[in-house]
Amino acid sequence: MMPVFRNLAKTAKEALLINGCSCQIPAMSVRLMSWSPRQVNADASFHSVSFAESDHPRVLITGGLGQLGVGLANLLRKRFGKNNIILSDIRKPPDHVFHSGPFIYSDILDYKNLREIVVNNRITWLIHYSALLSAVGEANVPLARNVNITGLHNVLDIAAEHNLRLFVPSTIGAFGSTSPRNPTPDLCIQRPRTIYGVSKVHAELMGEYYHHKYGMDFRCLRYPGIISADTLPGGGTTATMEKRSAKKYTAKLKLQVVAEAEHSNNVKAAKLFGVGESCVRNWRKQKEKLMESPSNKCANRGSKCHWPQLEDNVSKWVSENRENGYIITRSKIRLYALREARNMGIREFTASPGWCTRFMKRHDFVLRRKTKIAQRLPKELEEKVTSFQTFVIKHHKANSYQLSCIG
């Protein structure tokens, strides 16, 4: 986290240095009336006197309760003063955040409210962190489009009207699968496949446009995947805990990938078959084993057995007990395995639930459970019984079968 804050602090420092002078911040006069893309009422009153800007900026951080806002606010408050950094969000802050410095409610979709906050607090810098991240955005695209794009437009218009210095973070999600890799240049093709990535490409281009069109001091920094030390995950690709099913690849496909990698290189093979480059490297090392495996088998999947003799003993115990009619549960398997490991002198073995699951998969064991629910009778039961009785009577008369022979 700290490198991110240092980069942002460096960007802030550069914004303060005017005409190459780093000693003091010169006095700046406020525009009598800045042009705004939105219509301004004719009777609106503006201060006509110039005033010297204070030694420190007045900073508003939108989306302040996200992964970056609290940590950045703490860093900037140490440098610019506690009361000069205002956190804002639409959620209720925790007690330690509320008492650490100024906090106000701010909805970036409410243009009038946001403009009022900027005017009343004499904001000079605006750090725009409000956004729906990748995983949450994909689950609700209309809301993500509204927050990430409409909210950005509100912030841009207010920053242009009030001559604010604006920082909007971007993301490596602004690149897509067609972007060049290793290294990826700053300027290249960008075709993201998430609404979050699309909105960040839009933010980069809009900020650049406002800079050239209206002279706005716009700054942007593409963040990598971030996990905050101050805030719980907020739905980004890096932080999301969404469970994804693992893809299965047959030995035949893996050998095709290996052949392509040997003909060209690992990167091109990975891109052509849509697999990870690390998979290509591993499959090349496993080439001999893959050639010996059945072509349609998902070969070399799952973890290897660390204690084969122990598992063989446990497997025999499970089979013998089942043959004798005993009920074997996971708990019994783990207890027996732990006792057997101690007898064999294996001290690092813990018989964890995960080990039990992998053990059962490796030895094709499934849990059998008694049930009191009987099998449902077919709907046409009476019809089938009548048909069977008719069939029996017919053949009994035709062949003179003894009733005792009919079972």
Three-state DSSP class for residue 87: strand
- Peptide bond before 169: cis, by omega within 30 degrees of 0? no
Q: Are 64 and 106 in contact (CB under 8 A)?
A: no
Render 111-156 in DSSP notation, one character per residue: HHHHHHHHHHTT--EEEE-----HHHHHH-HHHHHIIIIIHHHHHH
CA 72 to chain centre: 22
Cα separation, 2 vs 72, whole angstroms: 9
On the CB side of 194, how many CA atoms lie within 13 Å of its CA?
A: 23
Cα separation, 59 vs 96, whole angstroms: 20
Cα separation, 234 vs 230, whole angstroms: 12
Q: Write out the catalytic residue numbers.
A: 196
Cα separation, 154 vs 115, whole angstroms: 9
166, amino acid identity? L
357-396 residues labelled b (16+ CB within 10 A) or e (exposed): ebbbeeeebeeeeeeeeeeeeeeeeeeeeeeeeeeeeeee
Cα separation, 8 vs 167, whole angstroms: 9
Cα separation, 55 vs 31, whole angstroms: 19
Quick count: other Cβ atoms within 10 Å of Cβ 294? 10
